[in-house]
Amino acid sequence: MGCCLTSWFSKKQTAFAISTTEAEYVSAGKACQQALWMKQDLIDYGVRLDDIPIMCDNKGAIDLSKNPVQHSRIKHIEIRHHFLRDNVQKGNIPIENVSSEDNIADILTKPLKRDPFNYLRGDPLNS
């Protein structure tokens, strides 16, 4: 968004999530896959990036991605969805917290009222 390289797609999740934390964790894993693909693609064009952070507004999903211990609460999550945690542990991708008010992805995924929409859009006159 703005002056940043952005990749966006919308797809119904194929994984069944029993909590918002799990749904955010799976989505962040998909974002991780996309970010690593973009990073590799940019290398082919001679552009090298050190870190591409994954921004997430769910503290539970962030904690889950940073904790290598398998808890009983997440045993039901399919192994393929732990791609994010594996890459965070390896240091390939950082995951950072973004407040819900500053989460620019919400402009593409939620119906927003005028003030939050204008704020996320970066419109200083109407926010």
The residues spanned by each domain of the chain are 20-102
pTM, two decimals, is 0.74
What integer is the mean pLDDT of 13-18?
66
User: Model confidence over 39-91: pLDDT tens digits?
Assistant: 888 888 898 888 888 889 889 889 888 876 666 566 566 666 678 888 998 98
Residue type, 112: L
Residues 94 and 51: beta-carbon distance below 8 Å: yes
